[in-house]
Structure 1
């Protein structure tokens, strides 16, 4: 919802979440204010609090929604490398969610909806590791940490603009795929 339109009817919760995502994408989570979001939606300053209670509640809803979208994005990836590509794609397509999801000091980590969404995402992330020939145990766990580090680091650098020179005009997903192939291809390191 754009900042110059007012809210008249429909789903206020969704309208506030959408406005919050716009603010986070443009200015970061620190710029978020329920009063400002109410103004953007054209409702009383108390209306967003009805749905989210407070700023932390709103950020918890953003994180829960983000983890749900993240789990959906990772689902059915054929292998660990492609889960990494989808990780990078998710970050590029949902930068506001991504910013909030990995800052647990911003939200209520014990929220049931958030916990359920995080668990779904974790299952999808782990699925790529369990498909590797190395099997389970400590090796699989460390491989999972390495894969997460590579995908998360690449996505974070991409969103912050720090890969502009290195990636140039190439598709970031293809660059990530090329980086990840020797390490996380289904047949293992080359």
Structure 2
């Protein structure tokens, strides 16, 4: 027989919620917890301040009380049972433990998600820096290419000037040789 959403399903869900709320309604004041654990009220009060917001509440008199999930966490911390005189079913214990584990996992997921967002932001910044560096490198390459072209042109101009200088020297030598007399040319003076 399968349960379909309807009167039977709603009744079971209502009963489950009522059982769960009754099981979760167990609350203890700081003084009660201190007495049960044999620890000072101040020590328990300091420990209660470190609990998550959902683990602590105020009762009708405005006194701080620790909820069932907070009591379970305190039991884990102090390695002592706080409400052994109030037996609860294994199902409720398992649900509570699962709820605590789910809360812890959700907190971890949120932390990791925030970390991923921060890493994405860092990667975007690094990507922008790399684009800037690529543009700078391209500009430097362009400048280097221009410099090489200018150097090559200057070297070609220098060679041309050296050739022209050599030709001018030869012409001067030829003219000088022609002006020397016959004997001077003969004796190399």
Give the TM-score band, short-chain normalised: under 0.3
TM-score (norm 2): 0.21
Larger Rg over CA atoms:
2
* Larger RCO (CA under 8 A, 6+ residues apart): 1
Structure with more of its chain in helix, by fraction = 2
Structure with more of its chain in strand, by fraction = 2
TM-score (norm 1): 0.21
